[in-house]
């Protein structure tokens, strides 16, 4: 029988989810030993950094690591040892979109899940609770069960739970400290319910009982995809309306405010933008599209696919409006792109709208300067050239700056691509004095005080509000 009380936890995958999630579990449960493992030695070294130069930037994370690391929280590449010692194992590995084979471009690549599951089966000498923390297609637990049953040692039993993570980057620690809900899915058998209760007890150290939802395995898996799809759908809806605003003179912030006052709709996640980024929204919707298609539900697949299509449209619409406004040519003009992360308060750049914008400007032969307070230079070059771009050619046209002011020097236009707070409070008069004239600002995040900037002399264009020159 799998353990009913959890004393030792192993988390496979020390990434954006495994790291913060299990660090917070360690912080809140001092009596549980938590070991986070990864194959990536550099990542583990960074988690163990004596100077707390952690592999991810996340407000509040360092304080958690300072308190728990070395007490009951450990980071290591000794995967097998941690697996064998644990009562409960979180599988928190990456599940990217497949790049080849069946389902290419849509289905989730479950290779990392399968390898981790095989490793658990091969290594475990005692029974364990295995928890899907990664976001996976509905019924993945069934495949895990088959692999575990076929490869485990005699007498070793596994219970499988689904416990998807709902944290958002940039607010991960606050989200983990006070989650809207913790979702635990299990088989509705006696053993499944016992395993679910054991995991509930871990969270109950700081999460109130009424926020811990226990449901069936398949509902839990599907709820994670559904939540991301519905969040992204709100953004695509407001972004679709932003195009109508620009064509009519309506203002998208005012529309969002008015619509969000309806208590059935609510005000959150209605901020128009240059498009959503991040590692999950697009990936999880494409995963849902693929699932729908394999279930022979083409209308359902098309419905969700439109959310991703609208996002692509919004990114390209914004950059092409910028080019049109700059007199339909940006050849050799300097454009300063402020922000490279996919949202503020993170150094994560996965699927960031900035990548599309800069590549579009590059195609138009513009000179681009880029500034982001958290993203490392090497990451920017890697992202820009990931589809086979010639790095030397990029370096001739693109420069990475050390400050916003430096990036804006001599620029014809500034593009706000990430809503970092420091862009709101820039010395805009000083910025204006350093730019070529007329000086344009394109606010893709609706963070700037447009009348104040116009008073300085800028020509300001915000996504979703009158774009008079078009």
Residues forming contacts to ligand UGA in the complex (CB under 6 A) are 135, 165-169, 228, 231, 235, 269-271, 273, 276-281, 342-343
With CB cut-offs between 5 and 8 Å by kind, which of ligand NAD, ligand UGA, none does residue 342 bind? ligand UGA
Structure token digits, residue 301: 């697949």
Q: Name the residue nearer to ligand NAD (CB basis): 192 or 277.
A: 277
Q: Name the residue nearer to ligand NAD (CB basis): 112 or 304.
A: 112
Active site residue 7: no
Look at residue 214 and give its three-state secondary structure: strand
DSSP type of residue 159: E
Q: End-to-end distance of the chain based on CA atoms, in angstroms?
A: 68
DSSP type of residue 469: T
DSSP type of residue 323: H
Q: Name the residue nearer to ligand NAD (CB basis): 14 or 322.
A: 14
Q: Name the residue nearer to ligand UGA (CB basis): 115 or 447.
A: 447
Q: Name the residue nearer to ligand UGA (CB basis): 168 or 201.
A: 168
Q: Which residues pair with 416 in a beta bridge?
A: 338, 443
Name the strand (E) or helix (H) holding 175.
helix 172-177
With CB cut-offs between 5 and 8 Å by kind, which of ligand NAD, ligand UGA, none does residue 270 bind? ligand UGA
Active site residue 437: no
Minimum CB separation from ligand UGA for residue 37, in Å? 21
Residue where the block lists tokens 């070991």 = 35
Q: Name the residue nearer to ligand UGA (CB basis): 65 or 341.
A: 341
Q: Considering 28, 224, 271, 343, which one is annotated as catalytic? A: 224
- Applying CB under 6 A, the residues found at the interface with ligand NAD are 12-18, 37-40, 43, 79, 92-95, 112, 115-116, 119, 134-135, 165, 167, 169, 279-280
Minimum CB separation from ligand NAD for residue 163, in Å? 11
With CB cut-offs between 5 and 8 Å by kind, which of ligand UGA, ligand NAD, none does residue 269 bind? ligand UGA
Count CB atoms within 10 A of the CB of residue 20: 25
Residue where the block lists tokens 């559904």 = 226
What one-character-per-residue DSSP string does 270-320 give? ----S---SSSHHHHHHHHHHHHHHTT-HHHHHHHHHHHHHHHHHHHHHHH
Q: Name the residue nearer to ligand NAD (CB basis): 190 or 386.
A: 386
Structure token digits, residue 379: 């990451």
DSSP type of residue 249: T
Q: Considering 58, 132, 165, 246, which one is annotated as catalytic? A: 165
Q: Describe the strand order of the beta sheet including 128-132 as a list of residue ranges.
A: 73-76, 33-37, 8-12, 88-91, 128-132, 158-162, 182-186, 212-216
Minimum CB separation from ligand NAD for residue 6, in Å? 20
Q: Which of 46, 307, 347, 18 is nearest to 169 (CA)?
A: 347
d(CA 384, CA 361): 12
Task: Give the side-chain half-sphere CA count within 13 A for 361.
Answer: 31
With CB cut-offs between 5 and 8 Å by kind, which of ligand UGA, ligand NAD, none does residue 38 bind? ligand NAD
Minimum CB separation from ligand NAD for residue 353, in Å? 17
Minimum CB separation from ligand UGA for residue 159, in Å? 24
Minimum CB separation from ligand NAD for residue 64, in Å? 16
Count CB atoms within 10 A of the CB of residue 362: 18
Beta-sheet strands, E only, within 101-209: 128-132, 158-162, 182-186
Please, is 190 exposed, middle or buried when counting C-beta atoms within 10 Å of its C-beta (0-12, 13-18, 19+)? exposed
Minimum CB separation from ligand NAD for residue 164, in Å? 7
Active site residue 104: no
Q: Considering 133, 280, 283, 333, which one is annotated as catalytic? A: 280
Q: Give the catalytic positions in this structure.
A: 165, 224, 280
């Amino acid at each position: 029988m799998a353990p009913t009380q959890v004393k030792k936890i192993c988390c496979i995958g020390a990434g954006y989810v495994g790291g913060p999630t299990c660090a917070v579990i360690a912080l809140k449960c001092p009596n549980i030993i938590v070991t986070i493992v990864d194959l990536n030695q550099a990542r583990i070294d960074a988690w163990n950094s004596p100077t707390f130069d952690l592999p991810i930037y996340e407000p509040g994370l360092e304080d958690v690591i300072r308190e728990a690391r070395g007490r009951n929280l450990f980071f290591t590449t000794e995967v097998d040892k941690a697996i064998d010692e644990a009562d409960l194992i979180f599988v928190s590995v990456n599940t990217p979109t497949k790049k080849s084979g069946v389902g290419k471009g849509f289905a989730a690549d479950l290779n990392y899940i399968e390898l981790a599951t095989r490793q658990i089966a091969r290594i475990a000498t005692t029974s364990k609770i295995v928890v899907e923390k990664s976001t996976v297609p509905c019924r993945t637990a069934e495949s895990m069960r088959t692999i575990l049953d076929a490869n485990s040692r005699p007498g070793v039993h596994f219970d499988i739970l689904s416990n998807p993570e709902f944290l958002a980057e940039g607010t991960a620690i606050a989200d983990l400290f006070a989650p809207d809900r913790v979702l635990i899915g299990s088989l509705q058998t006696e053993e499944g319910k016992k395993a679910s209760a054991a995991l509930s007890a871990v969270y109950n150290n700081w999460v109130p009982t009424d926020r811990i939802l226990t449901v069936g395995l398949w509902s839990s898996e599907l709820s994670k995809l559904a939540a991301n799809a519905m969040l992204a759908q709100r953004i695509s809806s407001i972004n679709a309306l932003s195009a109508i605003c620009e064509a009519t003179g309506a203002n998208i912030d005012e529309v969002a405010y008015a619509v969000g006052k309806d208590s059935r709709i609510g005000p959150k996640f209605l901020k128009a933008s240059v498009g959503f980024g991040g590692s999950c929204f697009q990936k999880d919707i494409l995963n849902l599209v693929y699932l729908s298609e394999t279930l022979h539900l083409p209308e359902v697949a098309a419905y969700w696919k439109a959310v991703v299509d609208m996002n692509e449209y919004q990114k390209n619409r914004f950059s092409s409006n910028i080019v049109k406004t700059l007199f339909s040519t940006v050849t050799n003009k300097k454009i300063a792109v402020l922000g490279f992360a996919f949202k503020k308060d993170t150094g994560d750049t996965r699927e960031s709208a900035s990548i599309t914008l800069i590549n579009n400007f590059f195609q138009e032969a513009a000179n681009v300067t880029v500034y982001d307070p958290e993203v490392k230079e090497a990451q920017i070059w890697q992202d820009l050239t990931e589809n086979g771009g010639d790095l030397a050619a990029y370096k001739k046209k693109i420069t990475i700056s050390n400050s916003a002011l430096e990036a804006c020097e001599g620029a014809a236009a500034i593009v706000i691509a990430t809503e970092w707070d420091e862009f709101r409070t820039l010395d805009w008069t000083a910025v204006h004095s350093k730019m070529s004239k007329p000086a344009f600002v394109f606010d893709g995040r609706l963070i700037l005080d447009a009348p104040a900037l116009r008073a300085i002399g800028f020509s300001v264009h915000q996504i979703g509000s009158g774009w008079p020159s078009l």
